[in-house]
Amino acid sequence: MQIVTPETGTPEVVVDALMRGPGAIVIRGLFSAEQVADARRVVMEHSEHRAQTVTHFQGEAAKDARLHLQRRVWNLLAKGDVFSAMSEQPVIVAAMRRFLGEDFIMGSIAANRILPDGPGQEPHIDYPYWDFHAPNSFPIGINSSFPLNAQVTIPLDPFTTQTGATAFVPHTQHKLRYPDESDRFFERCERMEAEPGDAILFFGATWHCAMPNHSNQDRSAVLIQYLPKFVKPMEDLRAMVGEAFVKRASPTMRQLLGMTYPYPQNLDAVANATNAEGRVNAARY
Ligand SMILES: O=C(O)CCC(=O)C(=O)O
């Protein structure tokens, strides 16, 4: 995997890795040890006494008696300020603006925790492509020549082959389909090895999955999903964070919550507010 620093991980370098390169890149040391410890504490608190809630891509693991060793914590923005800092991190935001367009939004921010001996996932592609098992539900001719998703994984524990670092098959981001048996995913895959506080950026159309944790320590990570402005977010973040959060949100956070993109709206009502030249005053557009 290509590893860059916050200084060398320019938007051009990131976009090149995600579009023309393997589909993934690591930015080393983007978050401090304090931020990692803070995030990890919250994730542990919210997942210690609870078996996993809703999750996905369990594949064969769904039949696995160890499924309770794979745990999710959703809606992280509402659970600690450190997650706002992570999602608004300037190096990540600059790369996403270039990759997904200036007005990109956040579709989800959750944690994936795999306990010792926890199972992995089925190889997959991410939202909004994740139901590509039904390709006919997508527009005709859809391809991944432009991205409808970007993922950022922030390890809170070491990501190694032993602990279950995410597996991916480089250069598969433009196939836009699920891998099947003949693709020999597990023979061809590489691992997204990284350290706590790094950020792994990847195009979610790249075939990937969490792997089993064969170590005796936890493997937890924050998973952030970013989307272009017009893709419906996966988590209803705006509703879930509440009014007090929105009141103190930065302009970037308001954008991430989808608050600067004005559609859908009641254009019948907007049409009543025409300006002196008779033009419709439709929000920003
Ligand atoms: O936690 C991981 O390693 C990957 C998780 C993932 O790909 C997912 O849940 O969509």
199-246 confidence digits (pLDDT tens)? 999 999 999 999 999 999 999 999 999 999 999 999 999 999 999 999
CA of 170 to the centre of ligand 1 (A): 16
Q: Which of 43, 129, 208 to mutate to test the pocket of ligand 1 (most atoms within 8 A of CB)?
A: 208
Distance of CA 49 to the CA centre of its chain: 25
Residues having CB closer than 6 A to ligand 1 are 57, 112, 126, 166, 208-210, 221, 223
Q: Whose Cα sits closest to atom 4 in ligand 1?
A: 210
From the list 258, 221, 238, the residue with the least C-alpha distance to 75 is: 238
CB 107 within 8 A of CB 140: no
Residue 222 has a pLDDT of 98
User: pLDDT below 70 — which residues of the chain?
Assistant: 50-63, 271-285
Atom of ligand 1 at shortest range from CA of 192: 3
Residue 281 has a pLDDT of 47
- For residue 23, what are the contacts with CB-CB under 8 A and spacing of at least 6? 17, 168, 170, 171, 172, 173, 202, 203, 205, 206
**Using only C-alpha atoms, what is the Rg of the chain?**
19
- What letter does residue 231 receive in the DSSP assignment? S
CB 87 within 8 A of CB 106: yes
Atom of ligand 1 at shortest range from CA of 210: 3
Q: Which of 178, 223, 226, 234 to mutate to test the pocket of ligand 1 (most atoms within 8 A of CB)?
A: 223
Work out whether the CA dihedral 185, 187, 190, 195 comes out positive or negative.
Answer: positive
CA of 208 to the centre of ligand 1 (A): 8
CB 163 within 8 A of CB 157: yes
CB 18 within 8 A of CB 173: yes
- For residue 140, what are the contacts with CB-CB under 8 A and spacing of at least 6? none
From the list 284, 241, 226, 244, the residue with the least C-alpha distance to 15 is: 226
CA of 139 to the centre of ligand 1 (A): 26
Neighbours of 61 (CB within 10 A): 20
Q: Whose Cα sits closest to atom 5 in ligand 1?
A: 210
Distance of CA 30 to the CA centre of its chain: 16
Domains (ranges, CATH) in the chain?
3-271 (2.60.120.620)
CA separation for the pair 104, 192 (Å, rounded): 25
CA of 36 to the centre of ligand 1 (A): 18
From the list 266, 206, 258, 208, the residue with the least C-alpha distance to 235 is: 258
Catalogue the E-assigned strands of the chain: 3-4, 24-27, 70-73, 105-114, 150-155, 167-168, 190-191, 199-202, 208-209, 219-227
CA of 276 to the centre of ligand 1 (A): 52
